[in-house]
Amino acid sequence: MRKCLFLDRDGVINHDPGTYTFRVEDFQLLPSVVPVLKALQERGYVFVVITNQGGVAKGLYTKEDVLKVHYYLRDLLSNEGVELLDIFYSLHHDKIGASIDRKPDSLMLERAIYLHSISPEDSYMVGDKDSDIQAAEKVGVKGVKISTNGDLYSLLELLKG
């Protein structure tokens, strides 16, 4: 079983300007992401992104826009020696129609755990919203809430072992 760091996307991995980030040219990695993920990768962690992308349901952007940003994210991290195991995303928004794959529900996490043999007890979910932490708790993953656009350096101390 693998130990995993589940990561929300906007506000945790990339700068969240307060509106939807759906264009590659607007996507900016936060400064602590690469050094922290490299260090944790060396400690045996794998990384899975778990993100709500409700702007698709609202008609603000398309699934193709989401996929372009995710390919870009993978390339950025890979060029720095950090590999993402997977990215799970929900295209739903509760103002348009409820879905159990959208956080705070846990279906995205459940899929990742099953597909990638992840140990929930040895894994963490890092998010900047209560819904990230609530989704993690539903599957026995420890939640770590950070401030939006904050840094990840505190994870190095928390995940020593």
**What span, in angstroms and rounded, lies between the C-alpha atoms of 31 and 9?**
14
pTM above 0.85, yes or no: yes
Is 101 designated active site? Answer: no
Res 94: pLDDT? 65
Token pair of 113 as six digits? 């755990």
> Model confidence over 40-87: pLDDT tens digits?
999 999 999 999 998 888 788 999 999 999 999 999 999 999 999 999
Q: Is 69 helix (H, G, I), strand (E, B) or coil?
A: helix
Answer CATH for 3-158 from 3.30.565.10, 3.30.70.990, 3.60.15.10, 3.40.50.1000: 3.40.50.1000
**pLDDT category of residue 97 using cuts at 50, 70 and 90:** low
Question: 10, 65, 105, 132: which is the annotated catalytic residue?
Answer: 10
Question: 8, 16, 65, 105: which is the annotated catalytic residue?
Answer: 8
Query: 100 pLDDT exceeds 80?
Result: no
Length of the chain, please?
Answer: 161
Is 8 designated active site? Answer: yes
Specify whether the CB–CB gap between 33 and 9 falls below 8 A.
no
Specify whether the CB–CB gap between 6 and 124 falls below 8 A.
yes
**What span, in angstroms and rounded, lies between the C-alpha atoms of 37 and 97?**
34
